[in-house]
Amino acid sequence: MNIMRNRLPGTRPKRIRKASVNRNNLKIATIEGIPSTIFQVLLQGQFLTGFLLYLGASSSQIGFVLALTTLVNVAQIGVAFLIQKLPSRKWAMVIFTGLHRLLWGATGLVPFLFPKEHWVTAFIILYTTAFISSTAGGMLWNSVISDLVPARVRGRYFGIRNTFLNALGSLVMYGGGVMLDRYPGSQGFLIIYIVVWVCAIANIIVFCFYPDVPFEKSEEKSFLPMFRKPLHDKLFMKSTLFLAAWLLLQNLTVPLYSYVMLQLLNINYETLSLLNVSQTVFMMASFYVWGNLNAKYSNKRLLLWTLPIIALSSLMWGMLSVLPMLPVLFAAHIIFGMGVGGFNQLAFNFIIGDTPKKERPMYMAMYAALTGLAAFFGPLLGGRIYEWIVDWPEWTQIYGMQIIVGVLMLTLALLLGRRILRDE
């Protein structure tokens, strides 16, 4: 035993300690995701649309709210520069993510604090302020997590983390839908927000346990030279602009699916939750498939492969004209889950894996800003279009928009995507 101890000093104990530190850091990041997932699932998607309808919002106002989260991503460019000046990324992350959680949770107080005619306006103000804070917090979290997770286990870790948290999100989504059907209106949303407030506080507390990992700062000290770095990267910019155009088309209809199903198809919350759960389950299953394919093929090539799948999910809505409603909607959601799961995972890998480490914050900010602008105008324009065609035949609102958008997305993928997202 003493011989073994004499042979190992300076080597194995150090590796064991480093491995245990890494495992502890990854455990914290996973635990933090639990209250964060519950919080966000109950405040977005069908629950956000339902709460806005309860407050009296129109389709264009719903589209505007859904688009706001991406518009504020433009501010990440400034945040990417400012974090180079921070002595600690951790506490700035805690402050901004904490503000986001508290302000977004405060939207549940709107019916108690304001007259009914001001409910939607008050919600939009609180929601906008929350996501301005989220822009800084999200940028800092992406920067921290990309340094926190070792490159050699990044794909496997995010695959496991995403699968676990999406499974949790599916259960929360279904449970929330059942509860809203049982307690419709103000009582149901009050219960939702009580859970949200508890998770917001828990999430902030866990964020405080994140390590303050070392930060490799940009070699550029001034804003303009740092800003120009991604702009001068032609391959990065071509790919990013193409993906921004894609998200503009996709978000014309996808964020408004809940509006169409709740308002036009009169689907209840429990059924809507089951549709979204089926989408999430197949999205989780796709993480494993896309992760294995990513070991053989590049991020950009696989991104291209996800695009026709997403387009097909939009085209599937056209089958409502000849087939029963629920089988068509389940098929459309399942196909979309398979496609968007790969898209989101591969886009994230593209940003943190195919960009220079020291300049990564500005690259991430540029990607978020350009795709955020596109994703902002998508649901905003989509919501406006639904108002323009309100007097048209009902089928144009239920599946006509999806067919047109699906054809445009498929055309974009086949004509431009094959040229831009090819391996160099």
Asked whether residue 384 carries a pLDDT value surpassing 90, the answer given is: no
Q: Which residues of 254-267 are buried (b: 16+ CB within 10 A; e: fewer)?
A: bbbbbbbbbbebeb
Distance CA 25, CA 41 (A): 24
Please give the single-letter amino acid code of residue 387: E
Classify 124 as helix, strand or coil: helix
Asked whether residue 202 carries a pLDDT value surpassing 60, the answer given is: yes
Contact 352, 360 (CB under 8 A): yes
Output the pLDDT for position 276. 84
Output the pLDDT for position 377. 85
Query: Mean per-residue pLDDT for 128-147?
Result: 85
User: Tokens 């407050």 label which residue?
Assistant: 55
Q: How far apart are the first and last CA of the chain?
A: 55
Output the pLDDT for position 403. 94
Output the pLDDT for position 354. 63
DSSP letter for 74, please. Answer: G
Distance CA 309, CA 130 (A): 33
Distance CA 165, CA 76 (A): 25
The H or E element spanning position 188 is helix 186-207
Distance CA 145, CA 53 (A): 36
Query: Mean per-residue pLDDT for 95-108?
Result: 94
User: In the chain, what's the furthest Cα-to-Cα distance?
Assistant: 86
Distance CA 127, CA 308 (A): 33
Q: Higher confidence at residue 104 or residue 62?
A: 104
Output the pLDDT for position 119. 93
Q: Dihedral (C-alpha) 99, 102, 103, 106: value to the nearest 10 degrees?
A: -170
Measured CA angle at 406 (ends 405, 412), to 5 deg = 90
Of the given ranges (100-104, 155-159, 222-226), which has the lowest mean pLDDT?
155-159
Asked whether residue 67 carries a pLDDT value surpassing 90, the answer given is: no
Distance CA 239, CA 421 (A): 6
Share of the chain above pLDDT 90, in %: 29
